[in-house]
Amino acid sequence: MRAVVDFQGETLDLETPAERVVACWRGPEGLKPGEVGSAIGQALEAPRDFPALREMIVPGDRVALAVDPTIPVPGLVVEQVATVLEAAGGDRDALTVVMPGTTPAQEEGQRLGGVRVAVHDPDDRAGIAYLASTREGRRVYLNRLLTDADVVLPVGRLGYDSDLGFRGPWSVLFPGLSNRETLRNFRDHALPQPGIGMLTGPGARARLDESIEVSWLLGTQFYLGIIPSARGVLDVVAGRDAAVREQGIAVVEREWKLEAPSRAELVVAGVGGAESPATLAEIAAALETATQLVQHGGKIVVLSRAAGAIGPAVQRLMGLDDPREFTAALRGHEADEDAPIARRIAQATAWCDVFLSSALDPETVEALSIVPLERPDQARRLAASSGSVTIVSRAELTYARVVDEID
């Protein structure tokens, strides 16, 4: 059987006997590249349960776009939004893109889609302002560009998030553009991996309710959500906050969930799209997905072109002789920005053997108890010698579970 894994705009063929393939997943197909701009424009003109975006703007308004930089084609999305706002009488020079500093972002002062970019610093007290207190007594602090703006438009990638339940425009706004203490609190009370019924769980429901309340306190009710496909954009959802959450999460549950019949001896996970190199955060998300599918003591092969700096929490894992020591090494360092990345790496390497094809320094990879691969095609040898194989493309976006382990 010819199975294909996609990563970073590349493909790798794996010839494996059909009886050994447990599952093969490539993610949903999406819009053609030339259709994305018109889909964004249509969503902004006819949003769900809300007037058109152009009706929200009056000349002279200061507009802040709270943008998740991990959305597909962020420049095109911002350009389309800016064009609508300009047509409504807005001034492009009065627009500012505000991006979370905890995710890959443009450098401060650069422009995205023709709009100035400001990178949020959760430790910059001068750049953060008190908004209000929630019903539960949480004091809410947000980036000052949001609190000072006349109009705030959150733009986020809709998808699974093991810490927050589901990510989207709401999580870009809060906690994404909040202060360090709030970000630490969300990590310290991380939720289990999401699945069917996640919205009905008390933890997830409380987090969604809190984000709704923060949006209301800020006076923001309009969201723009981008649902990725395997190789671009699957859907665009705009409108009232609750309507975007409901519709967006329904599409994510339908299109990005893999249910495998059993665990496999080997999981081959492809990471990243063609737009830019994958990050260590995406590698960690893919490891989390693959860990749900691989047998204890089995093997995970991650294929990517990932690059980037190693954060302080991940550095604490380097050089330890036994992956079972990883969890202890991270105690007391939950506040580090890359703590979720380190936690996922620790969980995966303690569960099974991990192999990684990337642009990271091989010595760094080895220091994390991960076997570096010189070439992606080395995965073929591992697949040929494995009794069972599951193949997952865009593993960082996929929620996976084994059918016979579902409660």
Q: Which amino acid is at 227?
A: I
Q: What is the pLDDT of residue 2?
A: 86
The pLDDT of residue 275 is 76
Express the helix, strand and coil content of the chain in percent, nearest 5 each: 35, 30, 35
Closest CA to 177 of 224, 140, 137: 140
Kindly state the DSSP code that residue 107 receives in the 8-state scheme: P
Superfamily classification of domain 2-27+256-405: LarA, C-terminal domain (3.90.226.30)
Q: What is the pLDDT of residue 205?
A: 66
Q: What's the CATH number for 33-254?
A: 3.40.50.11440
Query: What sign has the CA pseudo-torsion 82, 83, 88, 92?
Result: positive
Cis peptide before 69 (omega within 30 of 0): no
Rounded CA-CA distance 236/243 in Å is: 13
Domain ranges of the chain: 2-27+256-405, 33-254
What amino acid occupies position 133? S
CB atoms within 10 A of CB 13: 11
Tell me which residue of 237, 120, 225 sits closest to 175, measured CA to CA.
Answer: 120
pLDDT given for residue 194 in this prediction: 45
Residues in the chain with pLDDT values less than 70? 102-109, 163, 187-205, 407
- For residue 18, which of 32, 35, 3 has the smallest C-alpha distance? 3
Q: DSSP letters along 46-68, please?
A: S-BTS--GGGG--TT--EEEEE-
